[in-house]
Amino acid sequence: MDFMESQQSLTSAEWILRGIFSFVFLLMVTKLMGQRSISQLRFLDFVIALALGNIIAHPLSDEHVGMKGSMITTVVWVALYVAITRLSLMWPLLRRFLNPPAITLIQDGQIKYRNLKKAKISVDFLFSELRKANVDDIQKVSLAAWEPGGTLSVFANPQYQPVTPADLNLETKPFRLFRPVIVDGIIDHTVLSEIEKDRQWLEFKIAPASIDDVKLATVDENGELRVF
């Protein structure tokens, strides 16, 4: 474990070991932090990501810096992150500080200019976000709110929303989700177990082809199989 300590120089193998060890360590840390830190980069997540990037980067570029201190600091920061996240679920004031409520930018087709300044957003940027939401006329917007995660939620006025089968009282087929059960000749046994089927059933359904010859096969919760 000499590659973890501060040294005058590191061999190529020791640099490789540092990279591999740091990569695995960051994977474990990210798993501990949870999916929220990946999918939603909010205020607390941004602070943690910015700090951890700098903490881990130094030992990977400077042989004079040992990894022990960086790992201890990383564990402390992750522990603080997990603790603050859990405390925010219990303390409304802390939750409001870390995850402030959405800011209304448009209501009934009218721009809230005071809230634009509060969100530090220009009119040009607002219209850019509206274009991304396929909104061609601000008058069609019933509500647009700036979310804490840095995204714009847009709700169109009901008269401009697409007509659905429910509006026309049309009968629809039940929703079915097809998931890959065979990919490049490899069976996903988790999907099979969830629909309460086994390999023998799968082999029977794709006969006369063999599983090794199937590039892709999907199945829904009712057991309907589609082979591509």
- Show me where the domains of the chain are located: 2-95, 103-160, 179-227
- Average the pLDDT over 168-194 and give the result: 90
Q: What is the pLDDT of residue 31?
A: 65
Q: Using N-to-C axis directions, what is the helix angle for 12-33 and 67-90, rounded to 10°?
A: 10
What mean pLDDT is predicted for residues 191-199?
A: 91
Q: The whole model's pTM is what? A: 0.57
Contact assessment for residue 221 and residue 179, using Cβ atoms and an 8 Å cutoff: no
State how far Cα 67 lies from the chain centre: 29
> For 15-44, what is each residue's pLDDT tens digit?
677 667 766 776 676 666 554 444 456 666
Q: How high does pLDDT run on average in the chain?
A: 81
Kindly report, residue by residue over 117-163, the tens digit of the pLDDT: 988 889 999 999 999 999 989 999 999 999 877 789 999 998 888 88
Give the integer Cα–Cα distance in Å for 49 and 55: 10
Reported confidence tier of residue 215, pLDDT bands at 50, 70, 90: very high
At the fourth CATH level, the homologous superfamily of domain 179-227 is: bsu07140 like domains (3.30.240.20)
- Report whether CATH 3.30.240.20 matches the domain 103-160: yes
